[in-house]
Amino acid sequence: MATVYYSTEKNWASYRLHYAPVGGAWTTAPGVAMEAACARWVKRTVPLGSATGLKAAFNNGSGTWDNNAANYALGTDDEDQAPLVAAGSQVRSPVT
């Protein structure tokens, strides 16, 4: 499992995560709904199986996408189980 966080700075009415574990299939677009995490962040915990990361794109469920110009490539950190974080067009440090 991996938890993906995304900033709500875009002020979308809803946030969705479209993703594919490394070596796996993509979710059906527009992806899965994200839920409130903390102030200015949403999150989604996703199953990865044995994958070490995932490709991801974020959207509002109504046709507006943020795919970092080529999909976000997010890796896991097996040593400390840090959550995966994406925000706007950059990946940021885990929320603490």
Whole-number Å distance between alpha carbons of 90 and 9: 13
Residue 79 sits in a domain of what CATH number? 2.60.40.10
Report, as an integer, the average pLDDT of 17-38.
95
Task: Give me the domain span that covers residue 54.
Answer: 2-86
From 22, 17, 21, select the one nearest 5 (Cα to Cα): 17
Q: Is the pLDDT at 92 greater than 70, yes or no?
A: no
The model's pTM is 0.81
In a domain, 22, yes or no: yes
Whole-number Å distance between alpha carbons of 13 and 92: 22
pLDDT at 85: 56
In a domain, 94, yes or no: no
In a domain, 44, yes or no: yes
Q: In what order do the strands lie in the sheet with 35-38?
A: 35-38, 41-46, 2-7, 84-86
In a domain, 93, yes or no: no
pLDDT at 40: 87
Going by pLDDT thresholds of 50, 70 and 90, the confidence category of residue 96 is: very low
* CB of 7 closer than 8 Å to CB of 89: no
Domains in the chain: how many in total? 1
Whole-number Å distance between alpha carbons of 94 and 83: 6
34 or 81, greater pLDDT: 34
